[in-house]
Amino acid sequence: MKLKNSTIIALCNAGILNTTEHEVPVKDAYKAFRFRKSLQKAIGGILEKEKDLHIAAGIDPNNTDAATEEQKKRFEELYAEFLNDEVEIEAKTMSYESFHALACENKQVKLQVPVITSDGKQVTKTIFADPFRECEDLLEGVLWSAPEED
């Protein structure tokens, strides 16, 4: 199955990579595990490609603050195109019942987020996310399927 880079980034930012799958049937737990591992691989490729896009825009990936406005604009154009590119992801759907159990198990996923304080220092803040609920619509047909009508 193919997902857009923008969708992969949204799923990772929501905390899908920090989830567990202990409360679902084993066959569905494995589907969730393989999906998470596939997302990990995809986000690694995305981060590498971001470096390439910086270079293509004439920006040193290790010193993006030194970029000119023209270079920043070029990077933004390249990045906008890149977000629409698709990546192959290993995904098999599970029942909505299993997905619901997975979401309940992961309704308080702990994330470490970098934050800039008022004095300009970067610190890490802990937040709690509900990634499967936040991304439920993105995951329909990817990780879960709608129940059959009676």
pLDDT, tens only, 114-127:
888 888 888 888 88
- Reported as a single tens digit per residue, the pLDDT across 92-106 is 999 999 999 999 999
Q: What pLDDT sits at residue 115?
A: 82
Q: What pLDDT sits at residue 150?
A: 65
With respect to residue 29, please indicate whether it lies within any of the assigned structural domains.
yes
Q: What pLDDT sits at residue 82?
A: 96
With respect to residue 35, please indicate whether it lies within any of the assigned structural domains.
yes
Split into its structural domains, the chain has a count of: 1
Q: Where are the alpha helices (DSSP H) in 57-144?
A: 69-84, 96-105, 131-134, 136-139
- The answer to whether residues 52 and 104 touch, using CB atoms and an 8 Å cutoff, is no
Give the residue ranges of the chain where pLDDT is below 50. none
Q: What sign does the CA torsion over 78, 79, 82, 83 have?
A: negative
Domain range spanning residue 78? 2-145
With respect to residue 81, please indicate whether it lies within any of the assigned structural domains.
yes
Q: What pLDDT sits at residue 11?
A: 94
With respect to residue 150, please indicate whether it lies within any of the assigned structural domains.
no
